[in-house]
């Protein structure tokens, strides 16, 4: 099944907001219902492809025939843009400025290389396409003519080594299918991001994805042991052992490259035995500050749960920790912040870690709420994108952004981003509801995930752009990274330039020039196509050994 062309996921799972929530949006945030009827796919004015017939014929030959090259309107629309709120607003308005000229579906690594060489010959740009779940403008390149390289035919489990506990997966394999194939052998990846139902293995690697069970299983880039990359200039294969001192690790150059350096065609990952026991529970903390301190204790000194997250006071009050029951306070009506802890593994290990962690959480001021909040979270953890669509349908604006920092900077980062969003949107006449949760924890720091809901304003895209820019500036000023797991895309690119620095960006450009000399791989995504532009007014902070030399 393809994803909904102007929203998230499976249309059958979409649900309107309850009347009470719609009323709150109107009364508290000034949200007015949408008046114009929604566009249907058949209503769109889809421009005809402009790619030369000779190029289309060569592409078809490269992938085994015309059946694997789609130029019809619906196929192209369904491969247009990603699933950020600005992406969806553009699609709902009929804006097809970023539509691919064709959708090409290779079936092998060799076919991918052949496609890239055809595109280089005919000056056609290439955007690798997995699940279409980008929320940072990663599927809207800066090029007049491009194809979407849909990798769905490359969707197999190529090898499983139970002795080494490794698996070789193809990039077009969707996460639920990967879990199903691994489960047949008694293994799991343990990677469950919010995009899980639609995202692909190649997309996880290309964007450095982080799943909701990262406290126990790690980020996806930590799971990758080897990979293959197809480029117009040939193939790169990396990873011969679990660790190596054979020069810089080329895997790290490919992971997070977002299709700008090449197309990932296989990934070797470490896998783990499927858990035989799972337990999720909730805890209440009096304040976000106190809850964050408790999470830090577990992250640094253990025992570390498999899932560990904390909603701030606003997110807890609204009930966003349970998107399936929005509007109901997640802590039973009491003030405070909701933390979710989850444990997966053997029955004995799960019980042991749960008991030890409970002692730490109680000592840190937490109040146990039992398993109900945790189980509700686990059941509804993939519902948030559908809730975002329902908010858009109701006339509201809803969007997310995320960042990360070292523990000592997390409080300032939290305040700075909340203030930037609140002040900018309030000054524009649309005071927002800004919610946040700690989504991923590490020994040395944590990720903050913000959700913003408010009225759209007269020009919602420009309206949000100002707020997003202010938030990005605040992230860099407070010492955070511009993205923790959403990726750079085009939305974060100019701030990534500031974070990486001029020399770092030029080094990456040199890599791109060698692998993609014509600049046709996802142009404008991750790296600027023209001169480096400083759009941020913030000066990044540096600490300790990272402080620049005079």
Confidence (pLDDT) at 534: 54
Last residue of a domain, which of 150, 166, 185? 150
* Token code pair at residue 8: 């998230």
Number of C-beta neighbours around residue 364 at 10 A: 18
Can you state the angle between helices 288-301 and 410-427, rounded to 10 degrees? Answer: 140
Write the Ramachandran bin of 211: left for phi over 0, alpha for psi from -120 to 50, otherwise beta.
beta
Confidence (pLDDT) at 37: 85
Cα–Cα dist 260/519, whole Å: 8
Last residue of a domain, which of 108, 130, 150? 150
Question: What residues make up the domain containing 70?
Answer: 11-150
Q: Is residue 141 part of a domain?
A: yes
Q: Is residue 225 part of a domain?
A: no
Q: Is residue 493 part of a domain?
A: no
Confidence (pLDDT) at 321: 63
Q: Is residue 18 part of a domain?
A: yes
Q: Is residue 67 part of a domain?
A: yes
Last residue of a domain, which of 103, 132, 150? 150
DSSP H/E element including 415: helix 410-427
Please state, in angstroms and as integers, the Cα–Cα distance from residue 166 to each residue in 158, 189, 223, 244, following that order.
11, 10, 9, 17
Q: Is residue 447 part of a domain?
A: no
Per-residue pLDDT of the chain (550 residues; tens, 9 = 90+): 789 999 999 989 988 888 888 888 999 999 988 778 889 999 999 999 999 999 999 999 999 999 999 999 999 999 999 999 999 999 999 999 999 999 999 999 999 999 999 999 999 999 999 999 999 999 999 998 999 999 999 999 999 999 999 999 999 999 999 999 999 999 999 999 999 999 999 999 999 999 999 999 999 999 999 999 999 999 999 999 999 999 999 999 999 999 999 999 999 999 999 999 999 999 999 999 999 999 999 999 999 999 999 999 999 998 876 655 555 554 445 689 999 999 999 999 999 999 999 999 999 999 999 999 999 999 999 999 999 999 999 999 999 999 999 999 999 999 999 999 999 999 999 999 999 999 999 999 999 999 999 999 889 999 999 999 999 999 999 999 999 999 999 999 999 999 999 999 999 999 999 999 999 999 999 999 976 655 544 444 444 333 333 2
CATH code of the domain covering residue 86? 3.30.43.10
CATH code of the domain covering residue 377? 3.30.70.3450
* Token code pair at residue 20: 């009470």
Number of domains in the chain: 2
Confidence (pLDDT) at 542: 41
Q: Is residue 212 part of a domain?
A: no
Confidence (pLDDT) at 515: 98
Range 134-150 burial, b when 16+ CB lie within 10 A, else e: bbbbbbbbbbebbbbbb
pTM for this predicted structure: 0.94
Contact between 400 and 452 under an 8 Å Cβ cutoff? The reply is: yes
Q: Is residue 64 part of a domain?
A: yes
Please state, in angstroms and as integers, the Cα–Cα distance from residue 378 to each residue in 228, 282, 321, 372, following that order.
34, 11, 10, 10
């Amino acid at each position: 099944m393809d994803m909904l062309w102007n929203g998230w996921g499976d249309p059958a799972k979409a649900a309107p907001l309850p009347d009470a929530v719609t009323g709150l949006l109107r009364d508290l945030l000034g949200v007015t219902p949408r008046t114009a009827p929604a566009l249907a796919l058949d209503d769109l004015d889809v421009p005809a492809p402009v790619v030369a017939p000779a190029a289309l014929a060569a592409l078809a030959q490269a992938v085994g025939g015309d059946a694997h090259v789609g130029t019809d309107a619906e196929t192209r629309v369904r491969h247009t843009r990603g699933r950020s709120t600005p992406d969806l607003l553009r699609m709902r308005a009929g804006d097809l400025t970023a539509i691919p000229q064709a959708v090409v579906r290779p079936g092998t690594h060799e076919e991918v290389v052949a496609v890239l060489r055809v595109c280089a010959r005919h000056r056609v740009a290439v955007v690798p396409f997995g699940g279409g779940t980008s929320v940072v403008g990663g599927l809207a390149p800066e090029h007049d003519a491009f194809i979407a390289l849909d990798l769905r035919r490359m969707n197999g489990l190529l090898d499983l080594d139970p002795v080494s506990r490794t698996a070789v997966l193809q990039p077009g394999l969707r996460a639920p299918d990967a879990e199903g194939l691994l489960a047949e052998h008694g293994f799991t990846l343990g990677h469950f991001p919010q995009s899980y139902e639609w995202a692909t293995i190649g997309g996880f690697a290309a964007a450095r994805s982080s799943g909701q069970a990262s406290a126990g299983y790690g980020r996806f880039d930590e799971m990758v042991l080897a990979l293959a990359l197809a480029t117009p200039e040939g193939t790169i294969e990396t990873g011969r052992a679990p660790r190596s001192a054979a020069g810089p690790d080329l895997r790290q150059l490919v992971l997070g490259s977002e299709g700008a350096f090449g197309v990932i065609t296989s990934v070797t990952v470490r896998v783990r035995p499927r858990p035989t026991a799972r337990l999720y529970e909730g805890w209440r903390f009096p304040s976000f500050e106190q809850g964050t301190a408790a999470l830090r204790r577990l992250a640094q000194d253990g025992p570390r749960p498999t899932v560990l997250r904390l909603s701030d006071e606003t997110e807890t009050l609204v009930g966003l920790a349970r998107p399936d029951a929005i509007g109901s306070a997640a802590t039973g009506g009491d003030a405070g912040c909701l933390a979710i802890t989850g444990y997966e593994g053997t029955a004995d290990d799960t019980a042991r870690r749960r008991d030890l962690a409970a002692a730490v959480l109680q000592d840190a001021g937490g109040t146990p709420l039992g398993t109900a909040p945790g189980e509700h979270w686990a059941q509804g953890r993939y519902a948030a994108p559908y809730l975002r669509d329902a908010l858009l349908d109701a006339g509201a604006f809803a969007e997310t952004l995320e960042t990360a920092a070292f523990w000592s900077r997390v409080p300032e980062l939290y305040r700075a981003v909340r203030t930037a969003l609140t002040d900018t949107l309030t000054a524009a006449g649309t005071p927002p509801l800004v919610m946040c949760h700690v989504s991923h924890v590490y020994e040395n720091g944590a990720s903050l995930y913000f959700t913003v809901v408010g009225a759209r304003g007269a020009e919602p895209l420009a309206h949000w752009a100002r707020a997003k820019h202010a938030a990005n500036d605040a992230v860099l000023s407070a010492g955070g990274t511009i993205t923790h797991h959403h990726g750079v895309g085009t939305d974060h690119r100019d701030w990534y330039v500031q974070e990486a620095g001029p020399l770092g960006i030029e080094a990456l450009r040199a890599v791109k020039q060698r692998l993609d000399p014509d600049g046709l791989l996802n142009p404008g995504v991750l790296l600027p196509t023209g001169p480096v532009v400083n759009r941020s007014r913030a000066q990044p902070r540096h600490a300790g050994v990272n402080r620049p030399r005079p």
